[in-house]
Amino acid sequence: MPKVVFKIDQSKPMRDQEVPGHNRWHPDVPVAEMVRPGDEFRMECREWTDAQIGDNDSANDVRDVDLTVAHVLSGPIGVEGAEPGDLLVVDILDLGAVPQQVGEAPGQGWGYTGVFAKANGGGFLTDYFPDAYKAIWDFHGQVATSRHLPGVRFTGITHPGLFGTAPSADLLSSWNRREQTLIDTDPQRVPPLGLPPLADNAVTGTATGDVAQRIAAEGARTVPARENGGNHDIKNFTRGARVFYPVHVRDAKLSGGDLHFSQGDGEITFCGAIEMGGYIDFHVDLIKGGMEKYGVTTNPLFMPGNVEPRYSEFLSFIGISVDHDTDTNYYLDATVAYRRACLNAVEYLKRWGYSGEQAYLLLGAAPIEGRVSGIVDIPNACCSLYLPTAIFDFDVRPNAKGPASQDRGQCAVTS
């Protein structure tokens, strides 16, 4: 176990940790600890909502979750010698759930997948599933099972949902401006188009006084991915992956968390991965001037690891950019196309006895692949979703007799 440079006591909220992390992006969050290029080190992480969700059979906690505290991030870790324009090379050596597997915080032997209520953020299929739902997952080494999803067992594609470097002041201003412009086009929308800075419940690391107030007032919310990395929710940031993050401020200031035991492409339920706290081990290095050298200015580059779970048979669902419910055609809209592929998968799984909510939760959590298959054949974008057949303990492939439907229980619902 490498040196721990960011410690978490899983029984306490982030605000009360010895060295607290933060939940807003801002250049002025103070460095929690410095490392050097070539160092290997461990960061411990809280689950992204700061452990508001419990290992129980009610989705009320998901329905009532307070998103102003999210995502709680560990860090920032400063890297000696890092300057704006460099690329920070980050190797993900290892990551996992909380080693102490007994406890009330997600990651202590269990995790969860949640569907948010439409009134509180919603998800990718929120127009079809407007209420809150939850599935609890038990961890068995790298394998997950759920009492809310009987008949399913898979190897997780474990990864961090969110890591990034600190934005510069200019970059932060640009984010706030362009996102507000978008929000202003429909400010009353539910769910909202974006989340502007919000001082309520801001956690600002070790900053105090004016600095803390400024961070709270100006800091960008952590939900989207941006030029610093951020909440990519790319399931392929697995063990062995190497990420090249743009550096926007002195010392780079690497922060993150939102560890996922597993996730399907798109993280479609919003809180769709199997969410957990845990640890992540890094090796860091620098490519001086790498942003210009490699033309990496708007987003990180990465190389996935070579120990992703290996599945070789898939059932694949297709969607095109047509809303079949309203018979409306959209122009090369991959978002609509992927949503239709997801809905087609849900419909298929219902024929085997799962509820729609269960199917939705499963697609968010299992190692499914979502592909942009055709994006030029006007007017229809075409996306596809690859579901490994081996994750089911029954033969889920189509056959001449028809699907073997049976009672497959139910996920956690609200009361």
Beta bridge partners of 155: 143
Nearer to a second copy, 15 or 94 (CB): 94
Q: How far apart are CA 204 and CA 152, in angstroms?
A: 40
Nearer to a second copy, 211 or 225 (CB): 225
Q: Does 4 bind a second copy (CB under 8 A)?
A: no
346-375 residues in contact with a second copy (CB under 8 A) are: 347-348, 350-351, 369-375
The answer to whether the CB of 410 falls within 8 A of the CB of 147 is no
10 to each of 44, 45, 74, 104, how far by Cα in Å?
Answer: 9, 9, 13, 8
Residue 162's H or E segment, with its range, is strand 159-164
Query: Which residues 135-194 are close enough to bind a second copy by CB under 8 A?
Result: 140-143, 155, 174, 177-179, 181-182, 191-194
Q: How far is the CB of 321 from a second copy (least distance, A)?
A: 9
Using CB under 8 A as the binding rule, whether residue 299 contacts a second copy is answered as: yes
Report the site for a second copy in 197-216 (rule: CB under 8 A): none
Taking alpha carbons only, the member of 153, 96, 394, 124 closest to residue 269 is: 124
Q: Which of 38, 210, 402, 407 binds a second copy (CB under 8 A)?
A: 402
Could you tell me which residues come within 8 angstroms of residue 154 by beta carbon, excluding any fewer than 6 positions away?
143, 144, 262, 309, 366, 367, 388, 390, 391
Task: Fill in the DSSP letter of residue 300.
Answer: -
CB atoms within 10 A of CB 181: 10
Interface with a second copy (CB under 8 A), residue from 4, 169, 211, 223: 223
According to CB under 8 A, which residues from 266 to 295 bind a second copy?
A: 266-270, 272, 281, 283, 287-290, 293-295
**Closest approach of Cβ 211 to a second copy, in Å?**
27
Q: How far is the CB of 132 from a second copy (least distance, A)?
A: 15
Whole-number CA gyration radius for the chain: 21
Of 3, 33, 35, the residue nearest 18 (C-alpha): 33
DSSP readout, 178-243? HHHHHHTTSTT-SS-S------TT--BTT--HHHHHHHHHHPBPSSSEETTEE----TT--TT-EE
Q: How far is the CB of 30 from a second copy (least distance, A)?
A: 26
CA distance 144 to 137: 6
Whose CA is closest to 323, among 185, 116, 128, 123?
128
Q: Is 217 in the site for a second copy (CB under 8 A)?
A: no
CA dihedral for 308, 270, 12, 55, sign (positive or negative): negative
Q: Which of 28, 47, 333, 357 binds a second copy (CB under 8 A)?
A: 333
Q: What is the nearest approach in angstroms of a second copy to the Cβ of residue 360?
A: 12
Determine the 3-state secondary structure of 156 from DSSP.
Answer: coil
Report the residue number, 17 or 321, with the smaller CB distance to a second copy: 321
- CB distance 363 to 262 below 8 Å: no
CB under 8 A: which stretch of 23-31, 43-51, 247-255, 262-270 binds a second copy? 262-270
Least distance (Å) between residue 208 CB and a second copy? 30
Q: How many residues does the structure list for the chain? A: 415
Exactly one of 148, 239, 253, 260 binds a second copy (CB under 8 A); which one? 239
Residues 66-95 that bind a second copy (CB under 8 A): 87, 89, 91-94
Q: Of 54-62, 127-135, 201-209, 391-399, which segment contacts a second copy by CB under 8 A?
A: 391-399
Assess 398 for contact with a second copy (CB under 8 A). yes
**Minimum distance between the CB of residue 54 and a second copy, rounded to whole angstroms?**
21
Verify binding: residue 1, a second copy, rule CB under 8 A.
Answer: yes
User: Least distance in Å: CB of 199 to a second copy?
Assistant: 19
- Span near a second copy by CB under 8 A; candidates 9-17, 20-28, 197-205, 236-244: 236-244
Stretch that binds a second copy, among 25-33, 49-57, 198-206, 318-326 (CB under 8 A): 318-326
Cβ at position 391, least distance to a second copy in Å: 11
- Cβ proximity to a second copy: between 312 and 415 the closer is 312
For residues 20 and 311, which CB has a smaller minimum distance to a second copy in the complex? 311
Under a CB-based contact definition with an 8 Å cutoff, are residues 279 and 99 in contact?
A: yes
- Footprint (CB under 8 A) of a second copy, residues 96-125: 99-101, 121, 123-124
When binding is defined by CB under 8 A, the residue of 69, 152, 220, 320 that contacts a second copy is 320
Give the closest residue to 214 by CA, choosing from 176, 184, 250: 176
Classify 335 as helix, strand or coil.
helix
